Amino acid sequence: MEDVAREAGVSRALVSLVMRAQPNVSEARRTRVLEVANRIGYRPNAMARSLASRRTKTVGVVLDDLRNPFFAEIAGGVEQLASELGYQLLLGAGGRQARRERASLATLLEYRVDGVILVSPRMRTADIAAAAAEVPVVMVGRQVRGVDADLVIIDETHGTELILDHLVGLGHERIAHVDGGKGAGGPQRRSAFLRGMRARRLGARAEVIPGDFTEEAGAAAARVLLAEPALPTAVFAANDMVAAGLLGGFDQAGVEVPGDVSIVGYDNNFIAHLAHVSLTTVDQPRGEMGRMALELLLDRIEHRRPSVTRLVEPTLVVRSTTAPPRRR
């Protein structure tokens, strides 16, 4: 900055005003400073500014799985609002492993981020609590007790009820659920499915196939179901990736969807929209959830207030993978 001031024949304070885009500088001086800065390759030092202000204008985001479009679409919502507000993002991913999540989180904290958004974290509650003691934290998709963090969560019971209302309304009674294992939202959807089936007097016909939120888990579940004496008439997949695996497994076996079995997913990511997939699914407004998480985080950074929870209501999008069951 001193080099720019000397070359431009102005004070260091004036260079600082120009670099911070302050209005009380004449256009002639502003132009002269910027020309010199460009010629000698000056770039403001964000780290130095952050040491002075104790703010980095940077937010950390830890995603559970980069291969799942759901997480990329939430990150997209965060990034869009961050760009509008002049914040930068640092991204980390856990690859569906708590150990890798902890490592990513530790790296973000080393970079002095102003706060952290954890999207469907798998790490221990104690690890999340420790991070929340250092910086403001917002969690998306997972609810934990005893942690001073804001939450953005989907109403899993309502989403599951939408699915069951749709399938039972079509005439399905033998319904299987491929669950999401221990991933965020998985146990809640499984419990809501079993409760909902019992409430409809279909508890004896409910089946749960253990899985995970991956396409591979859906393909494995298809093999399990195909090995049974009779297929269920409908399958509720833990998410759209699982549904894609089911669709592939059934297609290879010559099972028609929805003729032989109906499939419903959860998320409404871009896969569900593809013409050759056209998946009936529960819509989680991923971009909106990302923006909401950043809004909460920035408000928490400014005010250090008590934690709050935002419960998001999902909707059902009916496409081509569900139909009334065939008579058998």
Tens digits of per-residue pLDDT, 249-268? 999 999 999 999 999 999 99
Q: What is the mean pLDDT of the chain?
A: 91
- Cα separation, 162 vs 179, in Å, equals 17
CATH number for the domain that contains residue 144: 3.40.50.2300
pLDDT > 90? residue 288: yes
- In a shared domain, residues 119 and 130: yes
Question: Residue 320: inside a domain, yes or no?
Answer: no
pLDDT > 60? residue 49: no
pLDDT > 90? residue 19: no
Q: Which of 11-25, 45-59, 224-238 has the lowest mean pLDDT?
A: 45-59
184 is written with which tokens?
A: 């965020």
- In a shared domain, residues 257 and 187: yes
- In a shared domain, residues 128 and 247: no
- Cα separation, 24 vs 315, in Å, equals 50
- Cα separation, 70 vs 91, in Å, equals 15
- In a shared domain, residues 87 and 150: yes
191 is written with which tokens?
A: 């419990």
Q: Which domain holds residue 272?
A: 156-284
Question: Residue 324: inside a domain, yes or no?
Answer: no
- In a shared domain, residues 33 and 135: no
Which of 298, 292, 287 lies closest to 114 in space, CA to CA? Answer: 298
pLDDT of residue 105: 92
CATH number for the domain that contains residue 11: 1.10.260.40
- What average pLDDT does this structure show over 14-20? 80
Which of 184, 236, 181 lies closest to 205 in space, CA to CA? Answer: 236
pLDDT of residue 65: 86
pLDDT of residue 25: 86
Question: Residue 321: inside a domain, yes or no?
Answer: no
- Is residue 78 helix, strand or coil? helix
DSSP states of 116-176: EEEES--S-HHHHHHHHHHS-EEEES---SS---EEEEE-HHHHHHHHHHHHHHHT--SEE
**Spatial contact of 96 and 183, defined as CB atoms under 8 Å apart:** yes
pLDDT > 70? residue 53: no
- In a shared domain, residues 142 and 182: no
Q: What is the pTM of this model?
A: 0.78
- Cα separation, 293 vs 289, in Å, equals 6
Which residues make Cβ contacts (< 8 Å) with residue 48, sequence separation at least 6? none
- Cα separation, 123 vs 215, in Å, equals 22
303 is written with which tokens?
A: 């005010």
- Cα separation, 177 vs 236, in Å, equals 5
At 88-121, the pLDDT tens digits run 999 999 888 889 999 999 999 988 899 999 999 9
Residue of 216 and 41 predicted with greater confidence: 216
Distances (CA, A) of 183 to 51, 110, 152, 201: 38, 27, 16, 28
The pLDDT > 70 percentage for the chain reads 95
At 198-237, the pLDDT tens digits run 999 999 999 999 999 999 999 999 999 999 999 999 999 9
pLDDT of residue 68: 86
Question: Residue 327: inside a domain, yes or no?
Answer: no
Apex CA 240: angle with CA 235 and CA 246, to 5°?
Answer: 45
Per-residue pLDDT band at 45 (split at 50, 70, 90):
low
- In a shared domain, residues 67 and 116: yes
Element (H, E) at 262: strand 262-267
Lookup result for tokens 């970079």? 111
- In a shared domain, residues 197 and 277: yes
- In a shared domain, residues 186 and 279: yes
End-to-end Cα spacing for the chain: 80
How many independent structural domains does the chain possess? 3
Task: Report the DSSP pairing between strands 150-154 and 175-178.
Answer: unpaired
- In a shared domain, residues 280 and 187: yes
pLDDT > 70? residue 281: yes
pLDDT of residue 37: 86
Residue of 172 and 38 predicted with greater confidence: 172
At 155-179, the pLDDT tens digits run 999 999 999 999 999 999 999 999 9
- In a shared domain, residues 280 and 160: yes
- In a shared domain, residues 260 and 119: no
